Structure 1
Amino acid sequence: MSNIYHKCNRYCRGVTGAFLLPYLLMAVFGGVPLFYMELALGQFHRSGCISIWKHVCPIFKGIGFAICIIALYIAFYYNTIMAWALYYLLSSLRPTLPWTTCTNSWNTANCNSYMSTDHNVSWSNSSTSPAEEFYTRHVLQVHLSPGLHQLGSVSWQLALCLLFIFTIVYFSIWKGVKTSGKVVWVTATFPYLVLLILLVRGATLPGAWRGVVFYLKPDWEKLLSTTVWIDAAAQIFFSLGPGFGVLLAFASYNPFHNNCYKDALITSSVNCLTSFLSGFVIFTVLGYMAEMRQQDVSAVAKDAGPSLLFIIYAEAIANMPAATFFAIIFFLMIIMLGLDSTFAGLEGVITAMLDEFPHILAKRREWFVFGLVCVCYLGALSTLTYGGAFVVKLFEEYATGPAVITVVLLEVIAVSWFYGTTRFCNDVHLMLGFYPGCFWRVCWVAICPCFLLFIIISFLAFPPEVRLFHYHYPQWTTVLGYCIGVSSFICVPAYMVYHLLTAKGTFKQRLLKSITPEPSSDGHRDLIVTNAV
C-alpha cells in the first residue's frame, strides 16, 4: 500500500506536471518489471531477501543484508512521522482544533489567524499560520534546536506516542503473516474510503481548480533537473516496494503455481492509480489554500514532505465545516497508511532472518520481533528530539532513496546477468506455464540497469540541496548523509570479499562456486510456517 507522506514529498517539490512523465516512465520501465521480478523470485525460491541469494548468485548475498539495514533506517524515522500524526489525532479530540488560533502559549507575534469566510486577510512573507506554529513550535519544538549539531532533549510526548505506535506494530506482526494479514484488511481499506471523502470535499472547495491545474500542467524545463527523475524513482520504489525485501518475503508464502504475473500487473496498476488519485486529494486543498491566502499555488506548495500534511492540510481542515471530524479521519488515515508500510517493511526483515537462521529463530519469533521493535524504537530516539525533524529529513534524503536505488541496481544485475535471464524465465515457466515476454526481458537486462545507473550517477554528481524550515544543512551534513547511505550497501562488497576468503579451493574454484546457484529446498520454510501457525 502506497503512502500519502511520500506522495506529498515527491509530488510537491514544485515539479507537479513535470513529475508525472518521469513517474510514468519509471513505473513502466522500472517499477513494474522489478515488481514482477521480485514476486517471481520470492515465489519460486520461497526465501527472504538474505537466503534467496544462495539460490540465485551466492556472492551477492550482501544485498540481503543491505536491504535489512535500509529497512531499519526507514523504521528509525518513518514511524516518527506516525507519532506526529498520533499527536495530531489526540489533539483533534476537542471541539476547537488547537491549530486554529493564535492565542496559545506557543504562538508568536507573526501568527496570522483567519477563517474560511474571510477572504480579505493580508498575508505577508513574514506571516505564519497557527497551524505552522502548532507543528513547528508545539509538536516538534524545533525552535529549541539550532540544527543537527545540537539536537536538544527528547520530547516525552512524542516518545509516548511512538511507544504506542510500536506497541501496535509488535502485536500485529509477532505471530507472522497470518496475524498481520488480518490487520492489513483494516489498515489497507480504510484509507481508500477516507481518500474518496477528502477528494469529494476538496473538489468542492473554493479555488480547488487552481490546484488541479498546477498539478496537471507540465513544466518541460523541469525535466532537465535530475531531482525530478530521482524523486520519481524514489516514489516508485516506496510505492511498489522493490528493493525493500517486502515483495520477496510475502511472495515466498504464495503457492508455487500462484499467478504472480497477474498479481504484479493488478497490484502495481492499482498502486499507481492510487498515487494519481492522491495527487488530486492533495492539490485541490493546495488550490484552496492559495485562494484563501491570495497567493500562487507554487508559493503554498514550496515546502514538501511533512509540512504539507501537518501544516497546509491541517490548516485547510481547520477552516472547513466539521473540522474535528475531518481532522480525526485524516490523521487516522495517515497512521493506518504508516502502519501498513511498517508491517511490510519489518516483515521483510523478519522473514529474511528467520529464513537465514531457521533452527535458532523459528521457535523464538515473538522474542526476535520484540528485540527488533526495541532496536527500532531506540534508533528512533534521535528523531524525537527538538531537532528530530532535521534527522528525519537527513535519513529520508540519503539513507533510503539513493541506497534503495543502488541495491535494486545490484539486484537486477545479479539476476539478469549472473543468474541469467534464460534461467529465470525457465523458473517463471515452471511456475506459471508460460515465459515472460520480450518486453520484460529487455527491461530486466538493459532498460532497468541503465535507468537506475543514470539516476545514481546524477545523484552523486548533483547532490540535493537539503533544507528544512529556515535551516540550511551545512556541508558536513552532506558527508554524513553519504556515510549513512553507504553504510547499508557496503555490505555487498564486504560479503563478496568474505565469501571468497572463506570458500575452499583455488581462487578460480572459489569464484566459480560463488556464482553457481544452490538447489532450492523448502524444508526450512516449512519449519517456519509450521511454527508461525
Structure 2
Amino acid sequence: MALKTPTPGVVGERETWGKKVDFLLSVIGFAVDLANVWRFPYLCYKNGGGAFLVPYCIMLVVGGIPLFYMELALGQFHRKGAITCWGRLVPLFKGIGYAVVLIAFYVDFYYNVIIAWALRFFFASFTTMLPWTNCDNEWNTPACRPFEAIWDVNRTRIRNTTSASLGIAPTTPYTSAASEYFNRAILELQGSEGLHDLGSVKWDMALCLLAVYVICYFSLWKGISTSGKVVWFTALFPYAVLLILLVRGITLPGSATGIQYYLSPNFEAITQPQVWVDAATQVFFSLGPGFGVLLAYASYNKYHNNVYKDAILTSVINSATSFVAGFVIFSVLGYMAHASGRDVQDVATEGPGLVFVVYPAAIATMPGSTFWALIFFMMLLTLGLDSSFGGSEAIITALSDEFPPIGRHRELFVACLFTLYFFVGLASCTKGGFYFFQLLDRYAAGYSILIAGFFEAIAVSWIYGTERFCEDIRDMTGFRPGLYWRVCWRFAAPSFLLFITAYGLLDYEPLQYENYIYPGWANALGWAIAGSSVMCIPTVAIYKLITTKGSFLERLRVLTTPYADSERNGTVHNGMIVSESGGVRLMSAVQTPTTPQQPVGANIPAASAPTLASSPALV
C-alpha cells in the first residue's frame, strides 16, 4: 500500500520551482560537469573508440538511468531532503541520508578548488600574450620551452597521466611553458615536498576560492528562488561555448585525424573487464545518483510532475553532452598532433592535465587566443559552479528538513557552511595543496558513494519494495512503471553498483602522484575519511535497534516500516499516528482496527498490538 499524496494547503506546504525549466536546468547543470569534458572523451578513445559506446549505453540503461529515475522519484514523492526521506522510507536505513550528506560535505571541500583554478586562469587570460605561451617568466626554469620550439625539434611527448602535468619525454631535458605555468605558477608545487609539507597559503588562489564561495552564497542563500534563476546562465552558457569550440575545432588542420582516433571502433577492446568498469564508473559518477542532489532538487517539484519524462530527458542530455564534448576535445588534439608531427595518442590525456595544460597550450597557438581562452575558462567555471550548487543544496535541504530551525535561518546557515568550506579549502590553496586535493579526490567519494548507492538500491527494492515504489510513482504520475524498471531496480541496479565497488576494491593501489608516493598514514587518513561516511549507515541502524522497544523481530518490523511525514499530519499508519514534528507515536486514544492489517514493512512477522503499543515514540 503506497503512502497517500500530500494534500495541497496542509501543514508544511513546500516551496516549489518557479518554472519547470528551473528544475530541469538545475539537474542538467549538476549532472553535466567537468568530467563530461575531461574524462568521457578520453575513456572513449582509450577503450575502443566508438566501440566503447556499447558498454557505456548498456550500463546507462540498466544501471545509470534506473538509479537516476529512482532518486528523482523518491525526492518528488517524499518532498524532503536525504536524511528525512530515508528516515521515513526505511527508518532502519536513515543513516543513508547522513552518509550522503557527509559525502557531499567532503566533496565540496576540494571540488570548489577546481573552480578556483578555472577562475585564476580566466583572470590570467585578460592579456594579449597568454602567460603560458613563453618561458620569460619568473616561475620558468631553464628547461622550459615554448610549445612551438619543442614542436620544431619534434621531440615532444605529452605524458598520459591524470596528474595535471604536461611533460616531455624522459629522453629530453625540456618541459612545456603550459606545464610550468600550471605546476609552478598556479600550484607552485616546487615549494612543497609532499603532503607533510603544505607550505604557505597562495593568496591569489585563496582570493579566487573566496570569490567562488561568494558566488555560491548569493546563488543559494534564498533557496531555489535564486539558484533556479542563476542556472539559466551557468547551465546554458557551456552549451554555447561547446558549440563555438566545436565549429572552431573541426576547421583546424588535423582535426579529422583526432576525431577518427576518438570514434574508430575497436570491438576487441570491449572484451576486457576494465572497459566495462570504466563505462559503469563514468555512467554513475556523471549522472550523480546517490549524492542526494537529485533527491533534494526533486523534492521541490510539484507532486504530480511527470518525473519519468524528466529522468529520461536529463540523463540523455547528459550523455549526449559527453559525446559532443569528445568532438570538441579530439578535434583540438588532432590539431596539436598535426602541428607537432606526432600521433594523437602522444597528446591524448584526461583530468586536470587536459583542461589546464593541453587545451590551453593548443588555444595559445590559435589566432585570437585571448578570446578562446576567456570563453573556455568561463565554460569550465560555469560547469563547475552549478555542480557545486547541487552538492551544497543537497546538504542545506537535508539538514533544513531534518532540523527545521536551520531552514528558518537559511541565510545564516549557508554563510556559516561556506565559511567553513573556505577555511578548510585553504589547505588546497597552499604550495603543497595539490597533494591534499589528490587525497580528497581519491577517498572522499570514490568508494563511499558507491556503497551508499548500493544500500539505497537495496533499501528501495528489497525492503520498501519495488511494487510499493511503483504505486508511489503511479500516485504521482498516473502511470505505473513497467517490468523493465522493476527488474532494473530490484536486480540490475544493485548488481551494477556491487560490480563497480568490488572491482575498485580488488584493483586498489595506494595513492601516488607522479614520483611522490603517499605515506601510509596518508592512505590511512583517506580510508578514515571514506569510512566515516559509510559508517553512518550501520551506526544509525544499530542506534535505532537499541533504542526501539520490543523483541528483535518487533523492532526490525517497526524500523523497516515506512511512515508518513508531517505533510500527512494525522494519517494513521500501522497503529501509529504522525506527530506535528514529523515524528511518529504509537496510537493510544486512537483505536487500532480489529481487522488484521497487511504489514507494510519487510517480510517480518507482525508483532501483536499490545506488545507494539508498549514501544516508545519513534523520532
| TM-score by shorter chain over 0.5 | yes
Which of 91, 94, 97 is residue 61 of structure 1 equivalent to? 94
User: Does structure 1 retain, via aligned residues, the 8 Å contact 2:41–2:329?
Assistant: no
Q: Does 1:328 align with 2:374?
A: yes
* Aligned-partner Cα distance in 1 for 2:84–2:370: 49
Deviation at 1:10, TM superposition (A): 5.0
Aligned counterpart, 2:124: 91
Q: Which amino acid aligns with 2:316?
A: S
Q: Tell me, yes or no, if the aligned pair for 1:26 and 1:233 is still in contact at 8 Å.
A: yes
Q: CA deviation at 1:11?
A: 4.1
- Pick aligned residue for 1:432 from 466, 473, 477: 477
CA apart distance, 1:155? 1.1
CA contact (8 A) 1:202 1:285 kept: yes
Q: Alpha-carbon deviations, 1:313-347, whole Å to 9, x = none?
A: 11011111100001001101111111111111111
1:371 to 416, 434, 451: 416
Query: What code does the residue aligned with 2:335 have?
Result: Y
Tell me the matched-pair count: 524
Q: Could you say which residue in structure 1 is the equivalent of 2:11? A: none
Equivalent-residue separation in structure 1 for 2:391 and 2:70 (angstroms): 18
Alignment pair present for 1:350 and 2:383: no
Structure 2: distance between partners of 1:246 and 1:113: 43
How do 1:128-527 residues align onto structure 2 when only pairs under 5 Å count?
128-219=175-266, 223=270, 228-302=275-349, 304-358=350-404, 360-464=405-509, 466-474=511-519, 476-522=521-567
**1:234–1:401 Cα contact (<8 Å) kept:** no
In structure 2, distance between residues paired with 1:146 and 1:230: 34
| 1:362 alignment partner AA | G
> CA distance change for structure 1 residues 8 and 363 in 2, over 3 Å: closer, same or farther?
same
Contact persistence 2:280–2:496 (CA under 8 A)? no
Q: What is the TM-score with the length of structure 1 in the denominator?
A: 0.93
CA distance in 1, matches of 2:69, 2:35: 25
- SS of 2:443's partner is helix
The superposition leaves residues 207-260 of structure 1 with CA deviations (integer Å, 9 ceiling, x where unpaired) of 222321222234556546655444433432333221111111111111111000
Inter-CA distance 492–221: structure 2 relative to 1 (3 Å threshold): farther
Deviation at 1:23, TM superposition (A): 2.5
SS of the equivalent of 2:242 reads helix
Q: Is the 8 A contact 1:9 1:306 kept in 2?
A: no
The answer as to 2:136 corresponding to 1:103 is yes
Does the C-alpha gap of structure 1 residues 384 and 19 become closer, same or farther in structure 2, counting only changes over 3 Å? farther
Match of residue 12 from structure 1:
42
SS at match of 2:236: helix
Q: Aligned equivalents of 1:6 and 1:399: distance in 2?
A: 20
Offset, 1:428: 0.8
> Residue 430 of structure 2 aligns to which amino acid in structure 1?
T
Partner of 1:531: none
When normalised by structure 2's length, the TM-score is 0.81
Distance 1:508 1:478 in 2: 40
Q: Is the 8 A contact 1:417 1:445 kept in 2?
A: yes
Q: Given the superposition, is the C-alpha separation of residues 155 and 16 from structure 1 closer, same or farther in structure 2, using an over 3 Å criterion?
A: farther
Aligned-partner SS, 1:148: coil
Q: Distance in 2 between matches of 1:117 and 1:509?
A: 73
With over 3 angstroms needed to count, the CA separation of the structure-2 counterparts of 1:235 and 1:374, relative to structure 1, is farther
Structure 2 residues not aligned, in runs of 5+: 1-28, 157-167, 570-579, 582-619
Shift, 1:41, TM fit: 0.9
* Residues 450 and 416 of structure 1: CA distance in aligned 2, closer, same or farther (over 3 Å): same
What secondary structure sits across from 2:445 in the alignment? Answer: helix
| Highest RCO, 1 vs 2 (Cα 8 Å, sep ≥ 6) | 1
Indicate the RMSD between aligned Cα atoms, in angstroms.
Answer: 2.3
Which structure has more helix as a fraction of its residues? 1
2:447 alignment partner, SS class: helix
- 1:177/1:57 Cα in 2 relative to 1: closer, same or farther (>3 Å)? same
What whole-Å deviation, never above 9, does each CA across 1:33-54 have from its counterpart, x for those lacking one? 1111111111111111110013
Cα separation, 2, equivalents of 1:142 and 1:228:
33
Q: Which moved more, 1:213-222 or 1:444-453?
A: 213-222
Q: Tell me which structure has the larger Cα radius of gyration.
A: 2
Greater CA drift, 473-482 or 336-345: 473-482
Q: Which amino acid aligns with 2:444?
A: A
Q: In structure 2, do the counterparts of structure 1 residues 118 and 144 end up closer, same or farther at CA, with 3 Å as the change threshold? A: closer
On the 8 A contact 1:159/1:384 being kept in 2, the answer is yes
What is the deviation of 1:165?
0.4
> Structure 1 stretch 335-344 or stretch 285-294: which is displaced more?
285-294
CA distance in 1, matches of 2:192, 2:41: 28
| Gap regions ≥5 residues in structure 1 | 529-533
Aligned match of 2:84: 51
Relative distance call for 1:144 and 1:226 in structure 2 (3 A) is: farther
Cα deviation for residue 429 of structure 1 reads 0.9
CA offsets 1:445-482 (integer angstroms, 9 cap, x no match): 00111111111111111115644344344555444333
- SS state at 2:476 partner: helix
| Separation in structure 2 between the aligned mates of residue 335 and residue 464 of structure 1, nearest angstrom | 32
- Contact 2:76–2:299, Cα closer than 8 Å, also in 1: yes
Describe the superposition over 1:17-76 as per-residue Cα deviations: whole angstroms up to 9, x where unpaired. Answer: 264333322211111111111111111111111100132111111111111111111111
